[in-house]
Each structure stands twice: as C-alpha cells, then as structure tokens.
Amino acid sequence: MTKCIVCEAPLYNKPKPAINKKLAPATQSRLKQPDKRKVLVGFSLFVGAVTAAIMLTALWRRPRPRLSTAAGPVDVQVLGDTFLGYSTLWDPQFKQQLEDAQITIKYADELDQETRSQKLSAGEVDFMVTTINQLFETPSTGKIVALWDWTRGADRLVLNNKKFPKVTSIKSLNTVATQAAQQGKLLSIIFAGNTPSEYLSLLLADKSADFSLEKFNIIRVDDSSTAWQRFQNPQPGEQIVAGIFWEPHVTHATRQGYIASLSSAHVQRSIVDVVVASPQVLKTHPEKVQKFTKAYYGHIARNSVDKTLLRRQFEDLGALTSAEALNFMQGVYFFNADCANHWMNGSTQLLRQRLNYTAKVLYGSGRLSQLPSNFEQFYDGQFVAKLADSTAATNCPSFKSAAVPKSQTTAPPASRSQTISSQTTTIAVNFDVGAAQLNTEAKSALDRVIKVAKPTDTVKVEATFADASSARALSLLKSRTNAVEQYVADQLPTAQIRSTLRSGGTESPNIKVSIGNSQDR
C-alpha cells in the first residue's frame, strides 16, 4: 500500500494493468526489428575498423624507405683483375675489418677492360680498380676517388731464355729478333691487351733503343695470368720469345728460371693504379664512397709500421715465399691517405700531371684519337681530403730526400765542373771506369742540384761519348743515362726529364745534368 509521505495516511492503491504476453503480430514485428540508428552506427564502426585494419596492414607491408648508408651497413661491389696488388680486396682479414666497419664487400675479377668500364658506367658496380692508362683506353663515366699504388718493378718484361738460349738480355733479344726478321720470320711477344702490360711495352720501346715493337708479332690476351700460361705452353707454331706480366706471374717466371729484364722501374710512376667510383654512387650515396675509402686507407695505416701482415697477405694470395713477397713489396708503393691527398689536391697537381703525361703517350702511339681538354674531370679529391692530415710532399716517400733544408735555400758555390746561375744548374756526373752504377760521388753531385730544383723544373740529361763506332761504349752510355734518369725520378718525381745522346764528341765527363725552368725546354 502506498502512504502519504507527509501524514503517512493510506492512499488509493491503483491496480497495475495486466501484461498481455500475447501481442498482436504487428507489434511483435516492430519489437523484432532493430533500431535503424543503432544499426547505422554499428555498421559505421565496423566499416571504420575494417578500413583501419587494411590501412595498417598496407603500411606494414609497404617497402620501407632505404636508410642512409651512413647510419647502417653498406654493400660495396668492386671489379678488378688478377694483379697481386689488388689482393687486399679479397683478403679475409680486410673483409673482416670492413665487416667491423659495417661494410660488406663483393669483389670479382673482370678481365675484359671494356666490360669493366661499362658495368661501372651503368651503375652495376660501385667501384673498379684500374690503371690511369685504362681510363683513357676504355673510358667510363666514373671518377677517380682514391689512389691505390704505383709500380716500381712489379710489371716486367720476361725473356724466354729456355726456348731461346741466346736471349739473355734486352740487347740479345734485339739481335735474335733482327736475325729472325731477316729470315722472313717474326718472333712473338705476349701480354694482356689494353692493360698496364701493353702500356709498359710502349714506354719501354720509347725508352730503350734495343727494344722495338715493330720487330715482333704481338699476341694480345685478356689477362696476365692467361699470358703467363700461354708463355709456358704456346699454341702450335707460336715462337714466343718474351712476355710482359704483372705480379705474381713475374715472380713465378723468375722462380722457374726465366730472365726478368726491363720493368716499370725504368719508367717511374708511369703505371698508377686508382679507385674509380661509378657516377651513380657518387650522386646518390657519396657516404658509401667515404666509408669505403676510409676503411681502405685505415687498413694501409695499420700496416704502415709493421708490414708483416701485409707480406703474409701477398704470400698466401700470391703463392709466394716470404722472400718473394718482400721483393714484390719493394716493387710497388701503396698510397696512404696523405700521399694520395698530395697527388690529388696538392699544389703541384701530380695526378693531373700524370693524367696529362699518360694521355700524351697514348695519343702519340695512336691509341687515343684526341687529347682531353680538362683533366680535372677525371677525379674528385674531396673524399681523400677528408681523411688526410696534410697535402705536404714529405708524406710521399720519393719526396723526403728531395726536400730542401731550411738552412740551405741557396745553391752551393760554383766549381770547375759545376756552373750555376739564377736560371739553370748544370753538373757533371762521373762514373767509375766501365761501370754504369752511380757511385757515392755521382749521387752527391746529383743531390746538390736536386736540392735547389723547383717542382716544375725540367731535367736535361745530355750524354756524349767520343767513340761512336763502339757498340759497347754506346750501350754503356745508355745504361749510365738510365741510372741518372732513375735517380733523378726517385728524388724529384714532379720534374720533366729529357735525355739526349750524342756521339762523336770529346767532352769529359760524358754525362751532364741540367736543371732549369720548364720554359727552357
């Protein structure tokens, strides 16, 4: 019963209506149908959830943008050939050092020089190691970003004295070739075409009067390893009297008793190996170039004092003995970051000079149709510059002894055999009787004029001998001239060297060296 909330008196209790559980069909139908607004809201929520799920799935599956290689691991693809100097690129220890620096290197030999350049230009590989002459002979659109080495005897002419017992020297090679030509036959020289070996053949032919390429049938193959195998096992009818190889094949040849003759030591700094980057990696991933060059020069720096590990690398990968590996190391100079920076960015522009010199040699031999007008287009020195401490010439081994002491900036007093002016310096070079080696006195004389030379000076070597009819005397004079040239080149590599041989004179001593401004040429 319901009571009044004020007086608590009973109130009228209205009976509750009875609920009819059996409703009309129309009413039941309305109760069974859901609320349209609720359905619409529910459907909208369902569609929204499905759409969000699809979008999240798509975002998860979408390829993520490539992170900068500076922040993570990078893959480096390099092409080269069988030259032992490149063995660092496939050395397991160097690969481990690169992995520690988050770099994975993929190296492959590509013996065809043209294919190597094409792959680099197309961006199929990031880098290639090659020589300067190959940049002109098989051009690419890449740029030099680092210097690898220059050879000082690691490329060499080897004589086939086993099959031709009379061929024991470059002079006897010339004699045998001349005799064969007189009989209507041409003996053969084999080397890898469009490579440093062929380039060396041009330089040696220009350097030595006893080595004339026109006297030989030239056999060009794809690689030094191929040339070495065919040198030992010629095809039917081939009369291979000599071959030009690079290491380790030069050492393998001498080990088997063949005579090694003229080499890249006779044409100092002419064969220079470089690292060339593709245009694509330079444009899109310059940090990859920086990381790779930093890793390589870091490897060279770690082996600069104790080169034992470097020697063992050449032993293992070149199948050499310890003594042979050491001999190889003495025949090649591997650039460090400072020396590379001096060549690429120093005031003397050594790399530009070397490019210019190489182009002129190839142009003069008909292997280059025209000379480039701008040599700076071939290299980019910014990456080496960031790694080096200096561009000073003293960071290169050949420049150390050529530096002028601060206390001696003027020329020494003139003597009877030495005439010095403000424009030129001339000195006589004396040899022991019958000898072609520089003695202490000759080296001292050359050192005096080298110390006052400028980087752009021209060195003139004038050799004269009284008895022109003596073949032995002329040969001795040429050997002496080569000794002087090589010594000057080692001490003053930036200078241009010009040699002339004159016969019939009576001057004594027989060799004079003049150093003056390049305008005096």
The two beta strands, 127-131 and 74-80, are: parallel
Tell me if 294 is assigned to some domain. yes
pLDDT tens track for 292-306:
999 999 999 999 888
Residue 319 burial (10 A CB sphere; 0-12, 13-18, 19+): middle
Placement of tokens 């690129």 in the chain: 89
Q: What is the residue range of 34's domain?
A: 25-61
Looking at the fold, whether 222 and 92 belong to one and the same domain comes out as: no
Within a domain: 351: yes
CA 275, 279, 283, 284 torsion: positive or negative? Answer: negative
- Cβ–Cβ contacts within 10 Å for residue 472, how many? 9
Residue 322 has pLDDT above 90, yes or no: yes
Q: In 3-state terms, what secondary structure has residue 120?
A: helix
CATH number at residue 486: 3.30.1330.60
DSSP helix/strand/coil, 132 = helix
| Residue 26 DSSP symbol | H
153: left (phi over 0), alpha (psi -120 to 50) or beta: left
Please determine, for residue 454, whether its predicted confidence score (pLDDT) is greater than 90.
no
Model-wide pTM > 0.75? no
Residue-wise over 244-257: b if at least 16 C-beta within 10 A, else e? bbbbbbbbbbeeee
Query: Are residues 278 and 210 part of one domain?
Result: no
Does the pLDDT at position 500 exceed 60?
yes
Average pLDDT over residues 102-129: 95
Same domain membership, residue 146 and residue 217: no
Q: Mapping DSSP to helix (H, G, I), strand (E, B) and coil, where does residue 147 land? A: strand
For the residues 219-233, what does the mean pLDDT come to?
A: 96
Q: 327-338: per-residue pLDDT in tens?
A: 899 889 999 999
Does 392 map to a domain? yes
Q: Identify the CATH number of the domain in which residue 113 sits.
A: 3.40.190.10
For the beta sheet containing 259-263, the strands, ordered from the edge strand earlier in sequence to the opposite edge, are: 216-221, 187-192, 240-246, 155-159, 259-263
Q: Are residues 231 and 99 in the same domain?
A: no
Q: Closest Cα to residue 78, out of 124, 134, 137, 138?
A: 124
Residue where a domain stops, chosen among 398, 429, 456: 398
**Same domain, residue pair 509 and 428:** yes
Together in a domain, 275 and 389:
yes
Structurally, how many domains does the chain consist of?
4
Q: Is residue 19 part of a domain?
A: no
Residue 139 lies in a domain: yes
Q: Are residues 294 and 340 in the same domain?
A: yes
Q: What is the pLDDT of residues 140-189, one digit of tens each?
A: 999 999 999 999 889 999 999 999 999 999 989 999 999 999 999 999 99
What pLDDT digit, counting tens, does each position of 32-64 carry? 455 655 655 566 666 566 566 656 555 444 444
Predicted local confidence at residue 438, as pLDDT: 84
Averaged pLDDT, 247-263: 94
Average pLDDT, the chain: 80
Residues 227 and 202 in one domain: yes
In a domain, 211, yes or no: yes
In terms of Cβ atoms closer than 10 Å to its own Cβ (0-12, 13-18, 19+), residue 357 is middle
In a domain, 354, yes or no: yes
| Residue 178 in tokens | 């001349």
What's the CA angle centered on 336, arms 332 and 341, to 5 degrees?
A: 120
Is the domain of 451 the same as that of 346? Answer: no
Burial of 235 from C-beta contacts in 10 A (0-12 / 13-18 / 19+): exposed
Q: Choose the weakest-confidence range: 418-422, 460-464, 469-473.
A: 418-422
Structural domain contains residue 173 = yes
- The predicted model gives 134-139 an average pLDDT of 94
Residues 279 and 394 in one domain: yes
Lowest mean pLDDT among 57-71, 78-92, 164-178, 260-274: 57-71
